[in-house]
Structure 1
Amino acid sequence: MTEARYSPLLTDLYELTMLAGYFEKGMHLTPAVFDLFFRKNPFHGGYAVFAGLQTALDYLTELRFSEADLDYLDSLNIFSRPFLDYLRNFSFQGRVIAPPEGTVVFGGEPLVTVEGRLAEVQLVETALLNLINFQTLIATKAARICVAAHPGQVIEFGLRRAHGPDGGLHEARAAYIGGARGTSNTWAGQVFDIPVKGTHAHSWVMAFPDELSSFRAYADCFPEHCILLIDTYDTLKSGIPNAITVARELRAKGYELLGVRLDSGDLAYLSKNSRQMLDEAGFPQVKIVASSDLDENIIESIRNEGGCVDIYGVGTKLATGSGPGGCALGGVYKLVRCDGKPKLKVTSDLAKATLPDRKRLLRVVDADGQFKMDIICRQQDKVIPGDRVYNPANPDESKTIPPGATLQEIRQPVMDEGQMLLEKESLDLMADRCAEQLQLLPKGTLRLANPHIYKVAISSNLLTLRNSLIKQYLDKLD
């Protein structure tokens, strides 16, 4: 077995102390079920894009404690010797149910369900949240950016502003699932086979006596891959004219200039004028690349103002998942069944009350293939068109599943007895799934501001179970 990428100590201390407590009380082998979910869509948006599952499954597969790990835990003077001996042979032997990566999902839905012994399903909480929260956030941000940029393409440029090397690596992966067509991150290209893209920096231009000589030198070195950064001095008076000169020289040698990049200034105005100058000079095929602290709102503004950008290089705001309602996905991991009994976290805010027991997640699809709503039901429920379903935050609100609709299972078992059940999917397949599902959402769901609220409902049986458990808890307080 190769060395695990992630340490079993990638966890909060309280996961280990709870695990030790379960062991000391003889509860560690008790069967238990946890759900991983988030309550609100990120960025005040209408959806999220699920990502990070394969990374999480790899972590679960490799989960082992080394002697060095055990020595460190022993040095904390917290854990008993019998417990540390138990960890010596520890591995994850549980079951995992989840949607495929690239699936469009919504707040309140059980995304990843983890079933197994209480010890193992408790221990993995922090790592699963870390791995799935981040990639789902970034895939969602990328999807929003790509929707705003369409029909233009998006390239991920965020490595230098990412949250560390591992963050930069998996940010590139998640961005590709969300729709980015390439990355500047060479390591991500190697690890995930993502197309790598790049131009040159302003320092290249400044290292030469003048802009034209720098462009000529770059074209000489990379005649088949030449994209020139044209805003070091003056985009319209210097950059574009010099780029056109080099484009003519490349053409005379049998090559074509691929593109020019704008990294500052009024990108809508500069791209329109650059496009006009390139077209008039006989180079309509030259692509215009824009960067400079872009996000979905700025890109939408550029397009609304008639900008002529073909490719958007998006860095900081993608890599960090920044924006209103962003920066972190509020994913949580809650116990829903233990020792054969449904479990419920009770709260005065019904919207934050958990949904108990094992569940299925169904998508209602009309005859045209369009998504109408999602339904959360108990595992044994038989939900059919014509059934009434309920708003989990306000059960007085209900809807009827439309006659003639199809109900599709969103999730499937992806691991059982600690072994992966499915072949690893390509990132291209995940990205295609995301793009296809975004187009099947109700009109208005993709809006950046005040999006349509996609309906997520619960079945009558699940509502009855939740109400019953809440009543049991309240009766105990009386």
Structure 2
Amino acid sequence: MSQVTSTDLYEVTMALSYLREDMRAPATFGLFVRDLPPGRGFLVAAGLEPALDHLSRFRVGRSDVEDFASVLRRPVEDLEPLHGLSFDGGVRAVPEGRLVFAGEPLLEVTAPLPQAQLVETYLLSLLCHQTAVASKAARCVLAATGRPLVDFSLRRTHGPEAGLQAARLCALVGFAGTSNVAAALRYGIPAAGTMAHSYVEAFASEEEAFRAFARTHPGPVTFLVDTYDTDHGVATAARVLADLALGPGCAVRLDSGDLGALARRARAALDAAGLRNVQIIASGGLDEYGVDGLVREGAPIDAYAVGTKVGTAADAPYLDMAYKLVEYDGRPVMKLSSAKVTAPGQKQVFRDPGLHDVIGLANEEPPEGTEPLLRSVMRNGLRTEPPDTLAAARARFEADLAALPEEARRIERPVAPVPTASTRLTALTTVVRHRIETRRSSGS
């Protein structure tokens, strides 16, 4: 079963009808987030690279036609018009790592109508999930205020592929490493890990477990110290580390309890043992709110491992993301239904250095002192440039984050910037709305 069939059924039925009606003129669809979730002052554009990979490979094969016919319970020959359909359109998009706000197109697809329609679901699935997770991870970076973060999310993400994406997205926004071996290999992310409580429990004592682990891994080690009693575990780890003199880079990991209080006691015990260079790592149900609280109270924690809540974007696990037709055969179109009105026409986002954005038409001149965010990334079904890198996306993210207004950076009660519409976009919206309402009132 190919990725082509990873779609909603109505995409197939609409595309087939378009082909039957010979509606193959160019159509432009815009993908955007209607409103930011509560607790978000910004979003991080993510998912574009795998989306372009999908579009580059997209082709409806014989087996896909047979699968479509099967689920529709129709003869294969009825679905024959779909056979051989591939994506040969264009894409303009916001590069990964840029910050985006409500109503701004993350990408626009322009292609023959059946093609542009059939890829909708897959594109939404990719960008919705990845933008949500990247935005959650970015807030952890803000909360940590420069302290290293490690992705521990794989075991609790919604499947291994989601875990792979989460590790990549965490690296994109500045995480120092991941526990995910596959992600470390695929994306060149530093791998990081310690031990589990089961490892400690398998030995007769914590000390035996720590010494055995150090014999197998003679370089810098991290001991998990809260299997039984955390204070006793720290004292045991300190004794073993002092005896073995393993050098800098060693650490103890706290994974439960009052992490702030435990970290202070652990730091005191390590310092008393002459182990001032041994670091303290905290984990255990953390996200930006937990990290922010620990940083604000001055907990002597050197690095944070975050997992479940970040890999699932737990407090905002989805985005109100939409993929809407804005132009067909040169005719601007829009949706007027209550609370879901869309603006017509191909668009561009113009940004000034302070991240004050104007949403305008794609063919209008940028306002003075602004740059356009959407750029051409695919033309005639082919990429216009080599695949992007994590380093480049991370640099874009860091630059935008540095310019983000303070009220949008807040962990608690952030206030997101609100883009404005250009004069030309506002005028076009008025004209198209009037045209639709006139036709509706006349019954045509």
Q: TM-score range by the shorter chain?
A: over 0.9
CA contact 2:141–2:149 (8 Å) conserved in 1: yes
- Report deviation, 1:315: 0.9
**Paired position in structure 2 for 1:454:** 417
Decide which of 269, 274, 277 is 1:282's aligned counterpart. Answer: 274
Q: After the TM superposition, which residues 185-334 of structure 1 pair with which residues of structure 2 at under 5 Å, given as runs?
A: 185-236=180-231, 238-251=232-245, 255-256=247-248, 258-323=250-315, 326-334=316-324
Contact persistence 1:102–1:433 (CA under 8 A): yes
Letter in 2 for 1:424: P
Q: Which amino acid aligns with 1:72?
A: D
Q: Which residue of 2 aligns with 1:23?
A: 19
Equivalent in the alignment of 2:347: 359
SS in structure 1 opposite 2:177? coil
- Aligned-residue Cα RMSD (Å) equals 1.7
**Which of 6, 9, 30 is equivalent to 1:10?**
6
Q: Which residue of 1 aligns with 2:91?
A: 96
**Distance in 2 separating the partners of 1:456 and 1:189:** 37
Q: Which of the numbers 433, 441, 454 marks the counterpart of 2:404? A: 441
SS at match of 2:30: strand
Give the structure 1 partner of residue 337 of structure 2.
Answer: 347
- Partner Cα distance (1:76, 1:143) in 2: 41
Q: Which residue of 2 aligns with 1:39?
A: 34
Question: What's the CA shift for 1:428?
Answer: 2.5
Give the conservation status (yes or no) of the 8 Å contact 1:230–1:240.
Answer: yes
Shift of 1:432: 2.7
Which residues of structure 2 form unaligned runs of 5+? none
Residues 21-42 of structure 1, C-alpha deviation per residue, up to 9 Å, x if partnerless? 1111111x11100000001223
Partner of 2:360: 377
Question: CA offset at residue 43 of structure 1?
Answer: 4.3
Following superposition, the deviation at residue 84 of structure 1 comes to: 3.5
- The 3-state SS of whatever aligns with 2:108 is strand
What is the CA-CA distance between 1:124 and the residue it aligns to? 0.4
The DSSP-based 3-state class of the residue aligned with 1:334 is: strand
**Size of the alignment, in residue pairs?**
441
Correspondence for 2:46 among 37, 43, 51? 51
Determine the structure 2 residue equivalent to 1:476: 439
Equivalent of 1:106 in 101, 117, 121? 101
CA deviation after TM superposition for structure 1 residue 178, in Å: 2.4
> Per-residue CA shift, 1:148-194, capped at 9, x if unaligned?
11221111111111001111111211122122221111111122222
Residue by residue, what CA displacement relative to the aligned partner does 1:127-152 show, whole Å, maximum 9, x if unpaired?
00001111110000000111111221
Aligned amino acid, residue 420 of structure 1? R
Q: Judge conservation of contact 2:55–2:381 (CA < 8 Å) in 1.
A: yes
Given that residues 194 and 223 in structure 2 are in contact (C-alpha distance below 8 angstroms), is that contact kept between their aligned partners in structure 1? Answer: yes
TM-score by length of 2: 0.95
8 Å CA contact 1:247, 1:257 repeated in 2: no
Is the contact made by 1:224 and 1:256 (CA closer than 8 Å) also made in structure 2? no
Amino acid at match of 1:331: M
Q: Shift in Å at residue 266 of structure 1?
A: 0.3
- The equivalent of 1:420 in structure 2 is 383
Distance across 1 between alignment mates of 2:301 and 2:242: 22
Match of 1:170 in 2: 165
Q: Deviations over 1:359-404 (max 9, x none)?
A: 1111012xxxxx241011112222434xxxxxxxxxxxxxxxxxxx
CA 1:147 to 1:64, structure 2 compared with 1: closer, same or farther past 3 Å? Answer: same
Task: Name the SS for the 2:252 alignment partner.
Answer: strand
Q: Which whole-Å CA distance do the structure 1 matches of 2:336 and 2:250 have between them?
A: 59
Query: Alpha-carbon deviations, 1:213-235, whole Å to 9, x = none?
Result: 11011111112131000111111
CA–CA distance in structure 2, aligned partners of residues 263 and 54 of structure 1: 35
Deviates more, 1:292-301 or 1:428-437: 428-437
3-state SS of the aligned residue for 2:409? Answer: coil
SS in 2 for 1:44: coil
Per-residue deviation at 1:81? 4.8
Query: Whole-Å Cα distance in 2 between the matches of residues 436 and 271 of structure 1?
Result: 33
Please state if 1:75 is matched with 2:70.
Answer: yes
| Cα pair 1:223 1:250 within 8 Å, conserved | no
Following superposition, the deviation at residue 83 of structure 1 comes to: 5.7
Amino acid at match of 1:320: T
Deviation by residue 1:409-448 (Cα, 9 ceiling, x = unmatched) = 1111000001011112221221232122111112221012
- Output the amino acid matched with 1:343: V
CA distance in 1, matches of 2:174, 2:418: 24
Structure 1 consecutive aligned stretches of length 4 or more whose deviation exceeds 6 Å: none
Q: 1:283 deviation in Å?
A: 1.7
Deviation at 1:256, TM superposition (A): 4.0
